[in-house]
Chains A and B, each alone.
Chain A
Amino acid sequence: MSVTDTPPLQSPGSGDTGADDRISPPVSTAGAHGGVKGLLERHALLLLLVAVAAFFSFNPASGDIFFTQQNASVLLGNQATVALLALAVILPLVCGYFDFSLGAIAATSTVLTAGLMSFNDLPLGLAMTVGIGVGVLIGGLNGLLVTRFGLNSFVTTLGMATLLGGLIQWYTGGQAIVNGLDPRLAQFGSTTLLGVPQVVYVVALIAALLWYLLAQTPFGRGLYAIGSNPRSAALVGIRVQRSVWTTFVLAGALAGLVGVLALARSGSATADPGTGLLFPALAAAFLGATAVRPGFFNVVGTIIGVLFVSVSVSGLTLSGASTWASPVFNGAALLVAVGLSHYLGRSRGVRTT
């Protein structure tokens, strides 16, 4: 499927497609990059991460276990899928579009990859390809609906997520798929290399590629321009619709990969609709938009965001906090981060909505 690059406006009256559902990052502090304050703002999240890690390392309640290579390994392995999904989420967000279906795409990919091996005895490679391919297809469909037909991305992808959740239930019959999976996959998910789970290397590689794409290519620069003002972007020769569509496809592919990695980590596929994965990923993406390049969704900030939340939650858990601590902390961190950057942005007199 392809999207030809029609200019977003045929006539001034028709309005640019999807303009009404475009979102902006939680802050748009627009980087007054000079000065101590700017420096502090850019690295606040990283400093906070270090501070939290140090606190739990020296805290007697958690220190013994927290500051061990083993805990770090578990932590990284468990957060690899969230991190990768967060990276997928920021792609459409950079252009100003939400994709709520990415969690469901990941779950669909997990279930489908497992199911094809378990029910249809397909080889591992083919099952994985289908899992990721479905992600690409759904991403492409989302992108088409949002760009070509100008549907609201928020609602479209929410509908898609719900639809996929239902299909997962139908496909699995509500049962977890445990048997008949290729053992190599689970083996890959559980082995470590140099003390770090192998999946982490996959995520790191993709993070590096995405960083290159977003920060170091004309295409990536164009995406930020679209996110800033799609009308202006079209008038400086950026193919707005095609670019936005591409981010949806890439995000879908990454979500498909997240599904495969999740299957590798857990060794089984449950009939979960994937929202459990999506919200931490969204939170990390928005946290990340307050760091490194404040006001813009960016790869490094997102990774720091994921680490910050997971380190904090791990420390809290080891200190004896209950299971509810994790979501409460997630939510609180997001609210504080967004509020703080909004305040910083306003104090500099920069538009923040």
Chain B
Amino acid sequence: MTETASPKAPAATDVVLRVAGLTKRFGATLALDKADLALRHGTVHALVGGNGCGKSTTIKVLAGVHRGDEGRIEVAGTAWDVDAYDPRAGRAAGLRFVHQDLGLFPQLSIAENFAFDAGYPTGPGGRVQWRNLHRRVAELLTTYEIDADPRTPVGALRPAQRTLVAICRALQDQEGDERLILILDEPTATLPQHESDVLLEAVRRRADQGQTVMMVSHRMPEVLSVCDDFTVFRDGRTVAALVGQRPTEHELVRHMTGAALARTIDESVVPGALDGDTPVPADDRPAAEPATAAADDDVVLRVQDLHGGPLRGVDLELRRGEIVGVAGLVGSGRSSLLRTIFGEHRPASGRVTVRDAAGRVHADGDPRTRMEAGVAMVPEDRAGEAAFAELTIRDNLSVTVRRKYWRLWGMSQRQERADAADLVARYGVRAASADAPFTSLSGGNQQKVVLARWLQRQPSLLLLDEPTQGVDVMSRADIYRTVQEAAAGGCTVLVASSDLLELCSLCERVIVLQDGRVAAHVSGAQLTPDHLTVLTQSTTEPPSPTLQGASR
């Protein structure tokens, strides 16, 4: 641990929240290993680190969702051993949380959202004193510089205002002495740039007035612009506590990943990738350059200057039999890219062309025409977007090829049964029978069924969004093998995942998305989880004004 205390290190009395030696195990995994954290009064404190470094676990222990195994927590002078600490203790001591999902009711007014937290002011007979409530909430909104009427439904507010309302609500019972500690979990993850600027400015102003704030964020430029102190976690340990310093992005990233990797950031970022103007993204492999017409026939998916939703000019080319990964933070456009390619979202501008197995090129279309062109998609949300929970495994398998079984006298159940049994055996689905309900399967086996559903169509392009989310280790290996076999058979695979290790073990190359653009291409020896962490977290220097102008 490299404790880097500055000369103006805080006096012990200045610390309002201290976590010391916090350890938390999940089974065999050590999520937190004697982690330390100290917040100074009236500062904005950043808690940063790569995926799985223990940030979320720390927050969950503080919120009382998980109970720590060892360590001490000290809030505003009161100290607990972690096994004596519970949600109520944290709240009573003044911890307030605003999670990424803000927990607001979008249809209800701001005032009512406040009232659900703090209770409605009632008069005789339990009547709600609306005027009282609205006046109090209006005062709070003024204090927090939120320009909105308490009667406005929360859903009508701008995204940054919504987050501010959630913050204001969390702090609403704060009296004049500013003793509450606000903990923000990735407050800007889903916000566009200008919205997060608005939000961060407001947070900064609160801190200047004496509010203590801790925020978790992956966006380095943001934390650098607003935070006073930084705590960096790696593998469940505190590797750096930078108090009252102004570290550079490289310094932070070096702490997050270990020293050696940070150097490679600049080398692997594609020159000009951020200006959205490169028609063919540079690639580390010379063979990938579409130099000849013959090589061009090999391109299964071509995405050109794709805009829409979070996507802001994505260019991409995938060849036959390639497995390509998509890395990026939440909100970087990972899922949107896949969904737009599959035709679920219509792009605002740009082109997506797909070459089917017969060599015909298809321009854009809806999911159905995409399917006919040989595209398959396994969505991220298995329960919500892939499963037919009440139907049988057989129904879940045959749903993509229903027409195949239709004879004049009806559906050929015999053939359907035989095919389903084949698929279940071939993809190693552990099920009592193909006629069992889909929900009787474990997560991993459900995912195998979803994958088999698509692979039986022998797609030329397979889009996988978080393919092993909620999947056990054994099934995960099966799924990787299945995907690799499909690719070996000529299927092109595009995998979006937040599991960087997964991308590294599965893919030949990975593109990194940042703010809806391809920020980097990684392949070969550079393809390591640590390196990807560096690339997803950091931003390079913004493109020069002239380049930016040219891209628009």
Tell me the A residues contacting B by CB distance below 8 Å.
5, 7, 9-11, 28, 30-34, 212, 215-218, 221-222, 224-225, 228-229, 231-239, 295-296, 350-351
Contact = CB atoms under 8 A, between A and B. Distances in A.
Contacts of A212: 410
Contacts of A30: 389-392, 437, 439
B367 A7 contact: yes
A109 to B, nearest CB: 31
A43 B237 CA distance: 62
B156 to A, nearest CB: 13
B344 interface: yes
B388 A232 contact: yes
B386 A235 contact: yes
Contacts, number: 103
Nearest to A222: B402
A213 to B, nearest CB: 10
Contacts of B410: 212, 215-217
Contacts of B346: 10
Nearest to B410: A216
Contact of B384 (A31, A217, A218, A231): A231
A234 B387 contact: no
A221 B398 CA distance: 10
Nearest to B339: A12
A314 B366 CA distance: 53
Given A5-B366, A32-B437, A236-B453, 9 more contacts: A31-B437, A33-B392, A34-B433, A225-B399, A232-B388, A235-B377, A235-B385, A351-B389, A351-B390
A350 B385 contact: no
Contacts of B343: 7
Given A7-B366, A31-B437, A216-B410, A231 B385 contact: yes
A160 to B, nearest CB: 26
B8 interface: no
B20 to A, nearest CB: 41
A215 B371 contact: no
A349 B392 CA distance: 15
B368 A11 contact: no
Nearest to A24: B390
Contacts of B440: 32
B443 to A, nearest CB: 15
**Chain A, interface SS category:** loop
A30 B393 CA distance: 11
A26 B395 CA distance: 21
B367 A235 contact: yes
A92 to B, nearest CB: 17
A291 B384 CA distance: 27
A221 B402 contact: yes
Contact of A235 (B379, B402, B405, B436): B379
A7 B377 CA distance: 15
B435 interface: yes
B309 interface: yes
A215 B343 CA distance: 29
A348 to B, nearest CB: 9
B526 interface: no
A245 to B, nearest CB: 16
Size class of the B contact interface (CB-based, 8 Å): 35 or more
B406 interface: yes
Nearest to A349: B440
B423 to A, nearest CB: 15
B435 A350 contact: no
Interface in B228-282: none
B403 interface: yes
Contacts of B400: 236-237
Interface in B184-232: none
A186 to B, nearest CB: 37
Contacts of B99: none
Contacts of A232: 384-388
B60 interface: no
B411 interface: yes
Given A229-B388, A232-B388, A235-B367, A216 B411 contact: yes
29 contacts: A5-B366, A7-B343, A7-B367, A9-B344, A30-B437, A32-B437, A33-B392, A34-B432, A34-B433, A215-B410, A216-B409, A217-B411, A218-B402, A218-B411, A221-B398, A224-B395, A225-B388, A225-B399, A232-B387, A234-B344, A235-B342, A235-B344, A235-B377, A235-B385, A236-B367, A236-B399, A237-B367, A296-B390, A350-B439
B345 interface: yes
B157 to A, nearest CB: 14
Contacts of B367: 7, 234-237
A229 B399 CA distance: 12
Contacts of A11: 309, 345
Contacts of A238: 368, 399
Given A9-B344, A237-B368, A228 B379 contact: no
Contacts of A9: 344
A225 B411 contact: no
A218 B406 contact: yes
B385 A217 contact: no
Interface in B305-355: 309, 342-346
A33 B390 CA distance: 13
Contact of A10 (B345, B368, B379, B403): B345
Nearest to B403: A218
Contacts of A229: 384-385, 387-389
A44 to B, nearest CB: 19
Contact of B437 (A5, A217, A222, A350): A350
A-B pairs, top 3 by smallest CB distance, nearest first, are A216-B410, A218-B402, A30-B437
A225 B395 contact: yes
A351 B438 CA distance: 12
Nearest to B435: A33
Contacts of B345: 10-11
A28 B432 CA distance: 19
A30 B395 CA distance: 12
Contacts of A31: 392, 435, 437
A225 B405 CA distance: 16
A39 to B, nearest CB: 13
B496 to A, nearest CB: 15
Which of B367, B379, B402 is most buried by chain A, counting CB atoms within 10 A of its CB? B402
Contacts of B403: 218
Contacts of A10: 345-346
A31 B389 CA distance: 11
A96 B432 CA distance: 29
B391 A224 contact: yes
A188 B544 CA distance: 85
Contacts of B385: 229, 231-232, 235
